[in-house]
Structure 1
Amino acid sequence: MSAALPKAPEATMRVSALHGVGDLRLTERPVPVPGRGEVLVRVAAVGVCGSDTHYYTQGRIGPFVVDRPLVLGHEASGRIVGVGEAVDPRRIGSRVSIEPQRPCRSCTECKAGRYNLCPHMEFFATPPIDGAFAEMVVIEDDFAHDVPDSISDAAAALVEPLSVGIWACQKACIGAGSRVLIAGAGPVGIIIAQVAGAFGASEVHISDLSDERLGFARAHGATHTHRADSPVDDLGVDAFIDASGAEPAIRAGISAVRPAGSVVLVGLGADEAVLPVNLLQNRELVLTGVFRYANTWPLAIRLLAEGRIDLDCLVTGRHGLADAESALTSGSTPRSMKSLVMPQL
């Protein structure tokens, strides 16, 4: 984290763009120009998300199809190097974590504070909106959140998945003394476990099929670990949060929740799943999904600054833009947690 002044923007920049399934190309594009209320950010780090990998291997997620070159990456941090009209020029040089979305701010959902559900949302790396596998990006001024120098570029980028964890725990009503079960000990599951602990949970159970990942979970937030192929229906937890997307894990997790408890679905799996409706009804369980987040960045940055969340421990690889393909394919082994693309390498 250098204190040197940022370099002035160039006329062109490098981007890593997806042209089709498995077809990632390093190309040159003009540097974007920040409009009114926007800032130009020189990207320092970008976390690789499962959605990036899915676009790379499948070319689509549900209705979102890669039908033209698409820049992937939505977990990003960097430094402001330019500002548009109506933005304080003193922001130039600020280190920021990027909230990678642009809601319309005028629809019913936005006005109700649920801007993550805005039907007109433009979200990084979701077709046709380009993401942050680029040397520079533009974002609205108030969605470029200042971070202190105590937070690394990597952790500042991973505020995005941390926000997913915060949103999930808020949906699950996690508080002091809560008992929670999390399915999936991947990066999102580990983050949710840490957030649950920061919110005051007294027991944080996590399940997975990988003993290696369960060991990592025990060292980074979980108080109890379980093999996913072992029964958990006797736990009687207050909340179950699925970070796996696996239908068997979801069904098992629901069976572990006490009456009037909460079930929160975070993981991306099949479009449809068979759920134990009788159990949901008889126990009056509250079932909800998670779609991104809203108003989570300030809390996420505070938790990081106070040392209550460790995101740097998740980083298992760093890659330059020219090596972005390796970052996208690195998550195939349990030992890999979170790969970063570092556009300035």
Structure 2
Amino acid sequence: MAKTGSNLSAVLQGANDLRMIDVPIPEPEYGEVQLRQLNCGICGTDVHTWKQAGFGGKALTEPTVLGHESSSVVTKVGEGVTHLKVGDRVATEPGPACYQCKKCKAGRYNLCPVMQVINPQYVSGLSRYAKHRADLCYKLPDNISDEEGAVIEPLAVAVYACKRANIGMGDTVLICGSGSIGLLCLVTVLARGATRVLVTDIGDDKLKVAKKVGATHTLNVRGLSPTEAAAAIEEVLGEPADVSMECTGVPSCVSTAIYATTRGGNVTMVGMGDLVQEVPLGTAAMKEVDIRGVLRYCHDDFTTAVSLVASGKVNVKPLITHRFPLEKSLAALQTTASGVAVKVMVRCAED
């Protein structure tokens, strides 16, 4: 039974209807922990859910606390939990799978048909307190800050994307889009040994951040057609890209990636765009360019993300460009939606 307390939360009541409400503090059930939220990052999924009251074709059917990129500290431990204790700081993986279907049993639970991108029961990042499945909580080493801990979840997306793209030592990589996911892919491909990485965007400010965190080349493609952009990319690199990571979801950028990728290479689609797009599939077929999708991540990708940050091989701090207190959650969403930020961070804890 949940008890009433001070649990200020950003509750989505409907499309474009976000309200700051004091909700009951949840008590952990079997296999769960109660968490005091520390930080929560804002991403495009949150913005889409806020504007559309749903995501991925699924509408929300009840008021939902937004936010899923969280760092937290354990405040209570439910029965059956042995690997966590009160006081442990954790990063949380949202959206449990069924763990019974063929995909789950094959180790690809990110493809579970019942997996929800936005799960009202466990997506509660923009709150003071929440509960979560203990097996989806990952301990944070002491040398990872609260803010860095809140970037582990989107970094896991980049880790899995690079695995899907099969990034290797010495690769030349094109990254379309220098938003938070594009730049997380950038730092991850560099950690995997890529030697030349070109990042494209239509805004110079974000490209400056890309350069700061290690891009060997950047290119503003504003006003260029896909074929023109691909020609400019090849001129900068001196050759087509071995791998292209498309991080915008915009059809023109997908087309650019296909044109700019070498014969026998691959285009890995990380960004979430329209479910139906017009892109040059014939060109991809003639060049034997594989097109690979990306959906979330699995356990190993999450633990790898923690290790990359803890070891210093990946530095996510420069990606956090805007900060808000929990009370300003709507402003945090609006700032993310405006496109001016790389990563918006909300401080949920009352310091």
TM-score, structure 2 as length reference:
0.91
| CA RMSD after TM alignment | 1.9
CA distance in 2, matches of 1:155, 1:266: 21
Matches within 5 A, 1:45-124: 45-88=39-82, 91-123=85-117
Letter in 2 for 1:133: L
What is the CA-CA distance between 1:334 and the residue it aligns to? 5.1
For residue 288 of structure 1, the aligned residue among 264, 289, 292 is 292
**1:41-87 C-alpha deviation (Å, 9 max, x unpaired):** 11101100111111222323342213431111110011111111111
Q: Is 1:165 paired with 2:169?
A: no
Shift of 1:259: 1.4
After TM superposition, give the deviation of residue 21 of structure 1 in Å. Answer: 2.1
Matches within 5 A, 1:251-270: 251-270=255-274
Report the alpha carbon displacement of residue 231 of structure 1 after superposing the two structures with TM.
Answer: 2.5
- Per the TM alignment, residue 237 of structure 1 is displaced from its structure 2 partner at its CA by 1.2
8 A Cα contact 2:94 2:119, kept in partner: no
Query: In structure 1, how many angstroms separate the alpha carbons of the residues matched to 2:229 and 2:344?
Result: 32
Check conservation: 1:14, 1:26, Cα contact below 8 A.
yes
Task: Say if 1:64 and 1:127, in contact at 8 Å, map to a contact too.
Answer: no
What is the rounded CA distance, in whole Å, between the counterparts of 2:113 and 2:297 in structure 1? 14
Match of 2:281 in 1: 277
**Counterpart amino acid of residue 254 in structure 2:** I
Counterpart Cα distance in 2 of 1:155 and 1:35: 28
Q: Which runs of 5+ in 2 are unaligned?
A: none
Counterpart residue number, 2:217: 224
CA shift, 1:200, in A, is: 0.3
How many Å separate the matches in 2 of 1:77 and 1:199?
25
Q: Which amino acid aligns with 1:341?
A: V
Amino acid of the residue matched to residue 36 of structure 1? Y
Q: C-alpha separation between the residues in 1 aligned to 2:39 and 2:106?
A: 32
Establish whether residue 341 from structure 1 lines up as the match of residue 346 from structure 2.
yes
Residues 122, 132 of structure 2: 8 Å contact kept: no
In structure 2, the partner of 1:250 is 254
CA contact (8 A) 1:172 1:264 kept: yes
Q: How many angstroms apart in 2 are the aligned matches of 1:277 and 1:88?
A: 50
1:339 aligned counterpart, secondary structure: strand
Identity, % of aligned pairs? 33
Check conservation: 1:40, 1:137, Cα contact below 8 A.
Answer: yes
- For 2:331, what is the secondary structure of its paired residue? helix
Structure 1 counterpart SS, 2:229: coil
- The amino acid that maps onto 2:78 is G
Amino acid across the alignment from 1:103: A
- Aligned positions, number: 336
> Deviation at 1:133?
1.3
1:250-298 residue CA offsets vs partner (Å, 9 max, x unmatched)? 1011111111111111112222111212221111111111111112111
Confirm or deny: 8 A CA contact 2:201 2:207 kept in the other structure: yes
Kindly report structure 1 stretches of 4+ aligned residues shifted beyond 6 Å.
none
Ranges in structure 1 where 5+ consecutive residues have no aligned partner: 1-8
Q: Are residues 1:184 and 2:177 paired?
A: yes
Q: Conserved in 2, the CA contact under 8 Å of 1:77 and 1:97? A: yes
Counterpart in the other structure of 2:37: 43
Preserved contact between residue 29 and residue 79 of structure 2 (Cα < 8 Å): yes
Tell me the secondary structure at the aligned position of residue 204 of structure 1: strand
Deviation at 1:190, TM superposition (A): 0.7
Equivalent pair of 1:208/1:226 in contact (CA under 8 Å): yes
The CA deviation at 1:112 is: 0.5
Aligned to 1:221, the other structure's residue is in SS state coil
